[in-house]
Amino acid sequence: MTTKLLSPFQKFVKIESLSGILLLATTILALVWANSPYASSYDAIWNYELGITTQSFEFTKPVILWINDGLMAIFFFLIGLEIKREILIGELNSVKKLAFPLFGALGGMIIPIALFFLINQNPETQDGWGISMATDIAFSLAVLNALGNRIPLNLKIFLTAFAIVDDLGAVMVIALFYSGTIKMGLLAIAFGILGLLYILAARQFFSKFLLLIAGIAVWFLFLKAGIHPTIAGILLAFSVPVRQKMVTDDFINSLGKFYNDFKKARILKKPILSKQQLAQLNNLDETTDQFRSPLQSLEYDLHGWVAYCIIPIFALANAGISINGVESINSSFAITIIIALVLGKGIGVSGIVLLAQKLKWITIPKDISKQQIIGVSFLAGIGFTMAIFIANLAFSSSIYLNSAKIGVLIGSLIAAVIGYIILRRTS
């Protein structure tokens, strides 16, 4: 039996694909639950107030806001780690590598927003313009993975890279347009803490404990300052060093010394370790910590938790839309979101990329055809996680919020089907 060795990127694709399947399952569960006889329990759980209350201090929020503001800050922290890694050592670390996905991302942001403003005539829903600009990596990679060997790895890298650039654009939009009245004093304190972390990172000092304490403080300060607290996750991620403190040759030499010292350590007849063995194991732990990249280590540790826990919980809490009453849905707004997602992404990504290729601004890998670019452009219309997140920020009205969510769900489904059909017919 042969063991299939996966590259780090292929492992990433595998995790995201399984996450997409789990995301679909929790979305269906939320829809069924919200439209079942137990719908009242669905609302009661997510609106339950949770927090800390004392005689002099009170900080409580509904469960759904703890998810959207708290757990999603961890999701954004992971996005920040991915963005930093891609910019420094990944698929975005040179102008040549960046150009191809960058043009795709620009087309995937500009054209959907333009279509939204062109179609939408209701001034009350203008704030929803940012909903259609981001791509859900988990769902889109799950569809690509379902096509198996029909899809070249370069196409998956392209989709992942421009989706990450899309996410960066969405984060900037959230920070600039979907935050409240800003309290500059609290914001200055938060940036002071971040500045200290950046200075320590530049000097190759990193502590998970310090990052956790500083992260909680910055998150709270952003929340009270009027900036959406998930932005704190992105900025904290940029403070995590990518470089190791020890190079590979030194680590290998240390392993040799550890091996020799461990052989000399005393061995007890009891089923426990001797003091010498414990000391050597502690030395090995310290050496291993110095050899690990802090950014890579955190990204690896968090990826499974985000993919298999945080994002499904987000979907379960936010995808439960009651469709029993037609009057609770603004159909024209939902259709606007659908068109902006499906046609905006499908035309925007492929159109700008192919135009840039014709003008010789970018070079497309030879194993990627024009039809595959068009197919993956439609897959970019799967905007579930970030789209629903922005919808929650844009609307307090349940009618417009539910309409936006319906538009995102239907638009994402249509985009997935069209993209799948195009790619399946392309060998």
Q: Confidence band (pLDDT; 50, 70, 90) for 150?
A: confident
* pLDDT band with cut points at 50, 70 and 90 for residue 4: very low
Tell whether the model's pLDDT for residue 5 goes beyond 50: no
Distance between CA atoms of residues 97 and 104, nearest Å: 12
Predicted local confidence at residue 10, as pLDDT: 62
User: What's residue 324's pLDDT?
Assistant: 67
| Confidence bin at 325 (pLDDT 50/70/90) | low
pLDDT confidence tier of residue 204, bands split at 50, 70 and 90: confident
**Closest C-alpha among 223, 174, 229 to residue 386:** 174
Residue 231 pLDDT: 85
Rounded Cα gap, residues 97 and 121, in angstroms? 39
Residue whose entry in the numeric block shows the structure tokens 């829809």: 31
Would you place residue 375 in the very low, low, confident or very high pLDDT band (cuts 50, 70, 90)? very high
pLDDT the model gives residue 143 = 83
- Alpha-carbon gap, residue 315 to 338, rounded angstroms: 19
pLDDT reported for residue 259: 84
pLDDT for 7 equals 55
> What is the reported pLDDT for 111?
95
Q: Is it the case that residue 45 has pLDDT exceeding 90?
A: yes
Average pLDDT over residues 305-330: 81
Residue-wise pLDDT tens digits, 170-185: 888 888 888 777 788 9
The pTM of this model reads 0.79
Lowest mean pLDDT segment, chosen from 58-67, 90-99, 242-251: 90-99
Query: Over 90: is that where the pLDDT of 220 sits?
Result: yes
Report percent pLDDT > 70 for the chain: 94
Question: Nearest-CA neighbor of 343 among 310, 306, 383, 315?
Answer: 383
For residue 14, the model assigns a pLDDT of 65
